[in-house]
Amino acid sequence: MFSMKKKVIVSVTNDLATDQRVLRLCHSLHREGFDVLLVGRQLPKSLPMPNLPFRFHRMQLLFRKSALFYAEYNVRLVFFLLFQKADILVANDLDTLPANRLIQQIKRCELVFDSHEYFTGVPELENNPFARKVWKWFERKIVPRLKHLITVNASIANLFKEEYGVDFLVVRNIPYKLKIERKSYRNELNLPDNKRIIVMQGNGINVQRGAEEAVVAMQFLDENHLLLVIGNGDVIPVLKEMVDALNLNSKVTFIGRLPYDEMMKYTLSADLGISLDKPQSINYLNSLPNKIFDYIQAGCPILCSDLPEPRKIIEEYRVGEIAQSLEPKKLADQFQTILNNKEKLFQYQSNALKSSEILCREEEEKKLISLFKHL
């Protein structure tokens, strides 16, 4: 603990409510004696913030997307930070870095850059060469000059190392050990007891991340199967149209964004958790989806697409299987095969519960706390 609390301002472009990585960081720092202020934005449909032991501030912006949003956010953030005392600034992702870097140079404080993804490799930028060029310029100008760099997995750390010759500390986006009881909540959630439940969850259920194939696959399974899609993303309206067109309303249920513990009650009630991201961009290719660790905490067997980082987890901890194909009929067959093999399911569940003692925030955050204590 510190005799005088160091002030840390953590900024992110989302609405804070469901950004588990950022919330975990703030909880960790608060627990270690830092004075934490979390800054994000307020949207019309933002969930209310939970009771937090640290301060937060949500900015209401005129623009919600495109270059105008990013420009407004960074300008507003600069003026906000100018009038705040800070010992340490934390920029989450490249879209908050320009403002934080400017304020760091003005105030001469420490700056930590936490890259949640390979930002310039996301599909939205790969399909927009001008925007990608602009963000790449910021990245080249700022990242090589920073001392304190964090990212979510070894693959992305290696990309930055090859490009800029800098070392990133890898802190994976792993949840805390579950605070709620590990049991089925089907009765409480009005979920059927007689169906095999497959769950796909996340804040970014977007186009080309396997959700479309998962929905179509349900037409090849009988009425004893139910797919829960939990969260939000740009593909949700498309999925709902597909469900109506294919008459799958009895087999696919959509549940919006939920607070973490509420979401995990659904995960604990599921028989199989799926993560089906496709290598459509360099960012997706090198991703390590958060939901994989949520499934592990819930003791939920996993089926995930064949990407390098998820494959490492599946092979090392034996908590599930790699999807042999994302073609819907073959995907449905693999769902069926896994769910029919009770012995394998039990083994995956047991391995996941054992792994949850290692793959937890309590272990992962030790590296993070060490970094901040030495700033």
Report the chain's mean pLDDT, rounded to a whole number.
Answer: 94
Lowest mean pLDDT among 122-126, 150-154, 178-182, 252-256: 122-126
pLDDT of the residue at 46: 85
Of the pLDDT bands very low, low, confident and very high (cuts 50, 70, 90), residue 139 is very high
The pTM (predicted TM-score) of the whole model is 0.86
Of the pLDDT bands very low, low, confident and very high (cuts 50, 70, 90), residue 201 is very high
* pLDDT above 70 (res 2): no
What value does the mean pLDDT take over residues 183-188?
96
**Architecture of the domain made up of 7-174+360-373:** 3-Layer(aba) Sandwich (3.40)
Answer yes or no: are the C-beta atoms of 200 and 285 closer than 8 Å. no
* pLDDT above 90 (res 86): yes
Top-level CATH class of 186-355?
A: alpha beta
* pLDDT above 80 (res 192): yes
pLDDT of the residue at 204: 77
Q: Tell me the domain boundaries of the chain.
A: 7-174+360-373, 186-355
| 99-111 pLDDT tens trace | 999 999 999 999 9
Of the pLDDT bands very low, low, confident and very high (cuts 50, 70, 90), residue 288 is very high
Which residue, among 87, 148, 80, 137, has the nearest Cα to 115 in the 3D structure?
Answer: 148
Kindly state the percentage of the chain with pLDDT values over 70: 99
pLDDT of the residue at 127: 81
What value does the mean pLDDT take over residues 300-309?
97
pLDDT of the residue at 206: 85
What value does the mean pLDDT take over residues 267-280?
95
| 25-50 pLDDT tens trace | 999 999 999 999 999 999 888 888 88
Most confident of 249-263, 271-285, 314-328: 314-328
**Strand pairing category for 148-151 and 110-115:** parallel
pLDDT of the residue at 126: 80
Of the pLDDT bands very low, low, confident and very high (cuts 50, 70, 90), residue 154 is very high
pLDDT of the residue at 20: 84
Lowest mean pLDDT among 53-67, 70-84, 90-104, 260-274: 53-67
pLDDT of the residue at 44: 86
pLDDT of the residue at 100: 98
Q: How far apart are CA 347 and CA 306, in angstroms?
A: 21
Of the pLDDT bands very low, low, confident and very high (cuts 50, 70, 90), residue 1 is very low
> Hey, do 7-174+360-373 and 186-355 end up sharing a CATH topology, with the first three levels equal?
yes
What value does the mean pLDDT take over residues 16-24?
87
Of the pLDDT bands very low, low, confident and very high (cuts 50, 70, 90), residue 281 is confident
Of the pLDDT bands very low, low, confident and very high (cuts 50, 70, 90), residue 203 is confident
Which residue, among 276, 259, 290, has the nearest Cα to 359 in the 3D structure?
Answer: 290
pLDDT of the residue at 144: 97
